[in-house]
Structure 1
Amino acid sequence: MTTTEPAPAPVPAQAGAVPGPSADEVAERVFGSVLAGFEAFAVYVGDRLGWYRDLHAHGPATPAELAGRTGTQERYAREWLEQQAVAGLLTVVAGTGDADGARRRYGLSAGAAEALTDPDSLAHLAPLPRMLAAAATRLPQLLEAYRSGGGVSWDELGDDARESQADLNRPWFLHALPGALRGTPALHEVLDRPGARVLDVGCGAGWSSLALARAYPRAHVVGIDVDAPSVGAARREAVAAGLGDRVEFRLGDAAALAADGGYDAAFAFECVHDMPDPVAVLDAVRRAVRPDGVAVVVDEAVAEEFTAPGDEVERVMYGFSLFVCLPDGLSAPGSVGTGTVMRRPVLQRYAQRAGWSGVDVLPVEDFAFLRFYGLRR
């Protein structure tokens, strides 16, 4: 007599299921995301502890040498060095047969050194994981904001966030912005006026303001921001650069401070999407800029319309929006809650409500992940 096991009951179809990736594809995607997250945090560690900079300055090191030179703990240094070599960011240059790894020496290639230690390089992305780390420290607050409303302000995200933003923008503003402006005649002619007054709304740590002043030595630049630590850092940089007589930094809301009029040009670099009330600020900018002046919004170069799946730029911008920009914007009462992914029709709507007739995309290409918009009277 034989018996047979009963056939397993079929798994019921998911209610409302729609076509999409398989379970294996989703699992692989989640695994890859976690792997990338771990590696980003390891870059954060190497950046914050000075390990990359030490390897670049002093050459290949064993774990003991790196720990001794940087005042850190050898066992952690060894684990980090091994992880970085496995990830392909560091190179093992000696001691490959060392069983316990204590005598292995690790070094940085020229390309890795540029991307991870050179603050003047356009490829310098070591500051980027700082933004991820800033958001990670606030995940409980973010979850609460998602449940009940409100947000997490820029000030609450702390120094990692503000330093990440400043250090990522620094090389682009100092080295790429002057050429971009000179290559756009409508902007260059105004900025090159003798005694031109230039307004920099949402100036942050001031690198955009300093770049404008350096590129146009006859101009006087006024930077405005609501973040006190950033304004303090900007003032120190202006003094260090010898530009304190031509660059002024003010702490406050641009909706009020920009209304003193008489500016030849106004810029808003990567900040309109963060503003609780962008219409009020754009209206203040309109009133502050002379009729024969120019006003420019520089914001994320997102797609013209929502498309899913999206490309890597869209994906990273939604990441910034979920964990940084949208929570920051919604931390202010009555915020419109724009988020990082501000497409042109949204900016057009804000501009028109502020009294501008429209916006035009300016011919500035390959400028980080940013797009230049001219506000039209």
Structure 2
Amino acid sequence: METTVAGFADRLFQAALGMTDLLAIHLGDRLGWYDALTTGPATPAELVARAGGDERYAREWLEQQAVAGVLAVGGDGRFALPPAAAEVLTDRGSLDYLAPLARMLAGAAVQLPALLDAYRTGGGVGWAAYGPDVRESQADMNRPWFEHALPTAVAKIADLHAALGVPGARVLDVGCGAGWSAIALARAYPQAVVEGVDIDPPSIGLAEANADVPNVTFRAADAGDLPEAAYDAVFAFECVHDLPRPVETLAAMRRAVRPGGQVIVMDEAVADAFQPEGDDVERLMYGFSLLICLPDGRAHTPSAATGTVMRPETLRRYAREAGFTDVETLPIGDFGFWRFYRLL
């Protein structure tokens, strides 16, 4: 904690610089200017010729990006995107792809008037209100982890890996969003039958468009409508903390799994208990909670109002109220911001 006036003022000033950089990155991402720079350095005129836009705005943006240290400037005056920045900002398959983070926070900022009203009245801001920027950014940021890391992570759990490898195994992904988790499971276990469900129809539309394997299907549905004893494994990836009624959903997942089947939850890897000296992951998760997840949860009545920072003991309490006996933390480490649990 900064205790001097000058120190705290500098912290706020640095935060303002970071916010400016983040919003400028959002502009470059959505305008396609970073992608255009991956083909080579460009002047403002060359950039808009490749990707569209207004040349005067492009010049201001290019200069700002250079001053901020994102772009380099050659001796010929052209602006270039260095390889490291190119991977973070344009490589949609990289585990370090973070351009969607700018898109998500910019999309949340648009809702500040509605958020102020919710904070004053105790209401909420529903997921649909945040629109494509937030919906798509979450999917795009999670996609590399699901595509490249999820199969290896699941394979570390021997009995789960074996169950998914049985021909005809039925697998359910609750709260599947744009479908990348379900698609990754379907690719990794081609003999399984994978189904994704989500309450948000636009997300299901994205999932159906993203699906490229025959053994995965998607449908818009509430988890309360799940069939009983129908699946060998049920997953919930990064969604339990968003649910207004998590106990009801977890109970439906417990009923949906066959005897001997498994229920797996992946959620945020926050600390076991609140500490004022929280790490950067905690800071980021509280940011998501303030701006998106808690307001979304409170847009429904009744609501558990969990928020993004769902401690392990909170999940354990929800699981026990849903009829499970306990929660096991699975030995899957180094998986982004997330932790895996098995509900017993």
Q: TM-score if structure 1 supplies the norm length? A: 0.89
Among 156, 176, 188, which residue is 2:161 paired with?
188
- Once the two structures are overlaid, the 10-residue window that deviates more, 205-214 or 74-83, is 74-83
Gaps of 5+ in 1: 1-18, 96-103
Matched residue SS, 1:191: helix
Q: Deviations over 1:195-236 (max 9, x none)?
A: 100010000000000000000011001101011111011112
Shift of 1:266: 0.6
Among 332, 339, 345, which residue is 2:313 paired with?
345
Q: Which residue identity does 2:45 align to in structure 1?
A: A
Partners of 1:327 and 1:36 lie apart in 2 by 24
CA contact (8 A) 1:209 1:223 kept: yes
Alignment of 1:85 onto 2:66: yes
Identity of aligned residues (%): 58
Partners of 1:174 and 1:330 lie apart in 2 by 31
Alignment of 1:368 onto 2:341: no
Give the corresponding residue for 1:204. 177
Give the corresponding residue for 1:249. 218
Partners of 1:344 and 1:167 lie apart in 2 by 26
Partners of 1:259 and 1:281 lie apart in 2 by 13
Higher Cα Rg, which structure: 1
Q: Which residue identity does 2:187 align to in structure 1?
A: R
Shift of 1:59: 0.2
Alignment of 1:304 onto 2:272: yes
Alignment of 1:215 onto 2:183: no
Matched residue SS, 1:158: helix
Give the corresponding residue for 2:149. 176
Shift of 1:69: 1.8
CA contact (8 A) 1:225 1:252 kept: yes
Give the corresponding residue for 2:7. 25
Give the corresponding residue for 2:234. 266
Partners of 1:123 and 1:207 lie apart in 2 by 17
Give the corresponding residue for 1:293. 261
CA contact (8 A) 1:194 1:219 kept: yes
Alignment of 1:59 onto 2:40: yes
Q: Which residue identity does 2:305 align to in structure 1?
A: G
Q: How many residues align?
A: 344
Q: Deviations over 1:231-287 (max 9, x none)?
A: 01111222xx1x2x421111021122x233220001000000000000000000001
Among 149, 160, 165, which residue is 2:138 paired with?
165
Matched residue SS, 2:74: strand
Give the corresponding residue for 1:151. 124
Give me the CA root mean square deviation.
Answer: 1.1
Give the corresponding residue for 1:76. 57
Partners of 2:218 and 2:115 lie apart in 1 by 31
CA contact (8 A) 2:173 2:236 kept: yes
Q: TM-score if structure 2 supplies the norm length? A: 0.98
Q: Which residue identity does 1:167 align to in structure 2?
A: D
CA contact (8 A) 1:259 1:285 kept: no
Matched residue SS, 2:8: helix
Partners of 1:361 and 1:41 lie apart in 2 by 37
Give the corresponding residue for 1:137. 110
Shift of 1:20: 6.7
Partners of 1:30 and 1:159 lie apart in 2 by 30
Q: Deviations over 1:126-148 (max 9, x none)?
A: 11111111111110000000000
Partners of 1:21 and 1:226 lie apart in 2 by 46
Partners of 1:213 and 1:303 lie apart in 2 by 31
Partners of 1:274 and 1:259 lie apart in 2 by 22
